[in-house]
Amino acid sequence: MKQGNKATANKQKPKPAYRVIADTIEQMLLDGSIKPGEPLPSETEFAARFGVNRSTVREGIRLVEETGFVCRKSPRRLVASLPQPSAVAQQTTRVLHIHQITIREAWEVSLALEPTITRFAAARATTEQIEQLRKNIKQTKREMRSGGDLGSCDKEFHLILGEACQNMVFQMVREPLLPFLLPVAHQLVDRVDSAQRMLDAHEAIFLAIEKRDKDIAELWMRRHVMDVERWFRLLGIDFETIVKVGDDGTASMDEMNRSDLNLKR
């Protein structure tokens, strides 16, 4: 068979039955045939409809479950659901990990997103979210005094801002990047003794949001993100270093690049 004909034959290869079932279920959800909270047809019904055995149906359903479009209310009852941003983010994080993104790539997207997210948060944050930020600042101060976990406080601060911007698209674009940049940035805070500078930025952002001052909130977040680049430069860390995310969500710089780093002790 000629190469061109072989390529055509490959393109015409039919989808596996379980993939057809998964695509059909997703289409039913996307076109509104089944709405969130409503039950899906049973495995027996799907098996009869497609002329396959129930194990094939289960394999198709498993694929859809992984997307978050369906969830199990019981071992035998599946209902349509809305995929949560965190579930989508986990899949995207894995893809980014495979593509071996660098510190620079993660940081550039952060620089593009975070100031804008903060600007919208200043305009839209609810009273409850402003109070959450206030409590976060107080907790950060306590952790600083006790030498505690500043990383968790920093992560919470940025997550609250993401929710406060009231834009699901921003959250879904941004969340997959957090495992790449925040943990590495937290490692740098201790090494360049910049915890107070981080707190000062958070406090200035909070006060601006409390006053609904969009311009000042955006300006301080831009400075805050720029500080991360400054910390890397101070330590002589190559911005093209690949960042790896472990199974526990902890980020680290690629071991194979560490020998090329000129870290100041």
Identical fold between 3-80 and 87-258: no
- With a threshold of 0.85, does the pTM exceed it? no
What pLDDT tens digit does each residue of the chain (265 aa) get? 455 555 555 556 788 999 999 999 999 988 989 998 999 998 999 999 999 999 999 999 998 888 888 888 877 788 998 877 676 777 788 888 888 888 899 899 999 999 999 999 999 999 999 999 999 999 999 998 998 888 889 889 999 999 999 998 898 888 888 877 777 776 776 666 688 889 999 999 999 999 999 999 999 999 999 988 888 888 888 888 887 776 555 555 554 343 333 333 3
Question: What is the pLDDT at residue 11?
Answer: 59
Question: What is the pLDDT at residue 258?
Answer: 39
Q: Are strands 243-245 and 251-253 parallel, antiparallel or unpaired?
A: antiparallel
- 3-80 has which CATH code? 1.10.10.10
Question: What is the pLDDT at residue 10?
Answer: 54
Question: What is the pLDDT at residue 179?
Answer: 78
Q: Tokens 């958070």 — which residue?
A: 202
List CB contacts of 68: < 8 A, sequence separation 6 or more.
81, 82, 83, 84, 87, 88
For the record, the structure tokens of 174 come out as 């941004």
Calpha distance 3→62 (Å, rounded): 36
Question: What type of residue sits at position 9?
Answer: A
Tell me 175's DSSP state.
Answer: G
- Domain residue limits, the chain: 3-80, 87-258
Question: What is the pLDDT at residue 5?
Answer: 55
What CA–CA distances, in Å, run from 200 to 162, 179, 224? 19, 23, 9
- 87-258 has which CATH code? 1.20.120.530
Residue 221's nearest CA partner among 123, 142, 112, 144 is 112
Give the number of other CB atoms < 10 A from CB of residue 204: 17
